[in-house]
Amino acid sequence: MKNKPNIILINCDDLGWGDPGCYGHPLHATPHIDRLAEEGVRFTDFYMASPVCSPSRGAMMTGCYPARIGFSEFEGKWVLFPGQPVGLNPEEQTIAGLLKEAGYATKLIGKWHCGDQSEFLPTAHGFDEFYGLPYSNDMARQAGLEHQWPPLPLMRNGEVVEQQPDQRSITSRYVEESVRYLRDHRDGPFFLYFAHMHVHLPHYVPERFVAESKNGVYGAAVANIDWATGVLLAELKDLGIDEDTIVIFTSDNGSRNDFGASNGPLRGTKGTTWEGGQRVPCIVRRPGTVPAGRTCSEIATAMDFLPTFAQIAGVSPRTERPIDGKDILPLMLAEPEAQSPHEAFFYHHRNRLEAVRTRRWKLHVRKDDSEMLELYDLIADPGETTDVAAAEPAVVAELSALLDGFRTELGDTATGAPGSGCRPIGRVPVGRPLTEYDPTHPYFMAEYDLADRG
């Protein structure tokens, strides 16, 4: 068995907590994702650091709350858009950069969304190779848009190789690229970050999955993800590296709860700091090392991947730039009596601090521009249906003190706290889109015909 195992991180886009079959969806057939859970550890209380994609992905890559790396908002926008002059600061250490230092080959296949200028692309952040989309699949020329974005770029490393690609083919192209990568790097160690296009709008899915779906085109997109997972697992077995590879499956934020999506019993949706916005599926599998069929209800976050992967690879994160993630390897290994290393988890909505959770309790103090004070027992009431703030004043006081400490460290625009531990976002003098529309160009689709976006 290798001292430095391979790592495959599968990150879906907008997949809700309740969307995989192993998390309870009654209509989604996800045999390969369910197999991950049967053969590994399924987390029930796993969080992304933001309810929208750019901040959550930046946080996952760096092990930091978005506010710490200047990634809570982007020139007033929730997420990054084509041609913006801001992105993930090259001074930040990423998972890929850290693993590269440990001797890993590193590749991103799929969606990046941490900046589309050359200084911010994956190859500037520790990835040897990149094949995929620099941002969301709806940031394209698309029916119904009053303001048209530039043609959607499919990229290889720093170059655009196709514009307005056939989105129905993208997942299969990602899978083919992944299989080739696994075969070329079977001797490892490697880090493959597979970042799905699905289930972000618009839903372009191969007809085979649409025809078989019991939940419309959304269920078809989930099935497309499951198929891709199955191909990767089969390839690992065929190459004889199954036991040498950790596979992690998760999502960048909760679902929109439309088109048949599900956050299970959780309240709220993508874009909110209710549980449905940030609590997501997470499954960890490594045959022979990670115990099979276990469930973990301890608090864990995507920010924990960086220090945990560092522990796995036998390296240490840089100390000059503090991070917020913790080593959760004991939880992944289902060690007896292992507990979450987090005293608390904090929920930001853009630059506003809105809630905090300890193991049992979650206190909400704001939603958008409105103050509130609501306390929920997430063990007894994961759906956040019954406010118990009046009955638990001591708990409210304890969690309020935690919020005050967090504001001092990472700020809160709602109270005017600047945050002493915040670092700047990356910035270039002028941002330029990667593509420009040319009416004479032979695009596969000069304008996507579905108007859905989000």
pLDDT in tens, 188-212: 999 999 999 999 999 999 999 999 9
Contact status, residue 388 vs residue 360, Cβ threshold 8 Å: no
| Angstrom distance (rounded) from CA 255 to CA 135 | 18
- Of 195, 196, 219, nearest to 208 (Cα)? 219
Percent of the chain surpassing pLDDT 90 = 97
* pLDDT for position 3: 80
**pLDDT category of residue 2 using cuts at 50, 70 and 90:** low
Contact 307, 406 (CB under 8 A): no
Judge whether 304 and 77 are in contact, CB under 8 Å: no
182/236 Cα distance (integer angstroms) = 8
Comparing 55 with 146, the larger pLDDT belongs to 55
Residue 190 is given by DSSP the state E
Tokens of 435: 């593509």
Q: Do 211 and 156 form a contact (C-beta atoms < 8 A)? A: no
Q: Are 155 and 108 in contact (CB under 8 A)?
A: no
Quote the pLDDT of residue 1.
Answer: 34
Residues involved in catalysis: 53, 113
pLDDT level of residue 235 (50, 70, 90 thresholds): very high
H or E stretch covering 153: strand 153-156
**For residues 284 and 361, what is the distance between their CA atoms, to the nearest angstrom?**
26
Q: What is the pLDDT of residue 257?
A: 86
Ranges of each domain in the chain: 6-332, 345-424
Q: How confident is the model at residue 440 (pLDDT cuts 50, 70, 90)?
A: very high
Q: Where are the beta strands (DSSP E) in 233-285?
A: 245-251, 279-285
Give the confidence band of 258 by pLDDT, cuts at 50, 70, 90: confident
Number of other CB atoms surrounding residue 385 within 10 Å: 9
Q: Tell me the two tokens of residue 209.
A: 């999955």
How confident is the model over 341-370, as a mean pLDDT? 96
The lowest-confidence range among 288-292, 319-323, 343-347 is 319-323
Phi-psi region of 23 (alpha: psi -120 to 50; beta: other; left: phi over 0): alpha
Express each pLDDT in 61-116 by its tens digit.
Answer: 999 999 999 999 999 999 999 999 999 999 999 999 999 999 999 999 999 999 99
User: Closest Cα to residue 55, out of 78, 33, 26, 36?
Assistant: 78
Question: Cα–chain-centroid distance for residue 444?
Answer: 29
Relative to beta strand 41-47, strand 279-285 is antiparallel
For the chain, the C-alpha Rg in angstroms (whole number) is 21
Mean pLDDT of the chain, nearest integer: 97
Count Cβ atoms within 10 A of the Cβ of residue 281 and give its class: 0-12 exposed, 13-18 middle, 19 or more buried: buried
Residue 380: C-alpha distances to residues 129, 176, 210, 385, 434 (Å):
45, 44, 38, 10, 49
- For 345-424, the fitting CATH number among 1.10.10.10, 3.40.1280.10, 3.30.230.80, 3.30.1120.10 is 3.30.1120.10
145 with 122: CB under 8 angstroms? no
**Residue closest to 311 by CA, chosen among 296, 295, 328:** 328
Assigned CATH topology for domain 6-332 = Alkaline Phosphatase, subunit A (3.40.720)
Per residue in 261-317, pLDDT tens? 999 999 999 999 999 999 999 999 999 999 999 999 999 999 999 999 999 999 999
User: How many other C-beta atoms lie within 10 A of the C-beta of residue 100?
Assistant: 17
Compute the average pLDDT of residues 122-149. Answer: 96
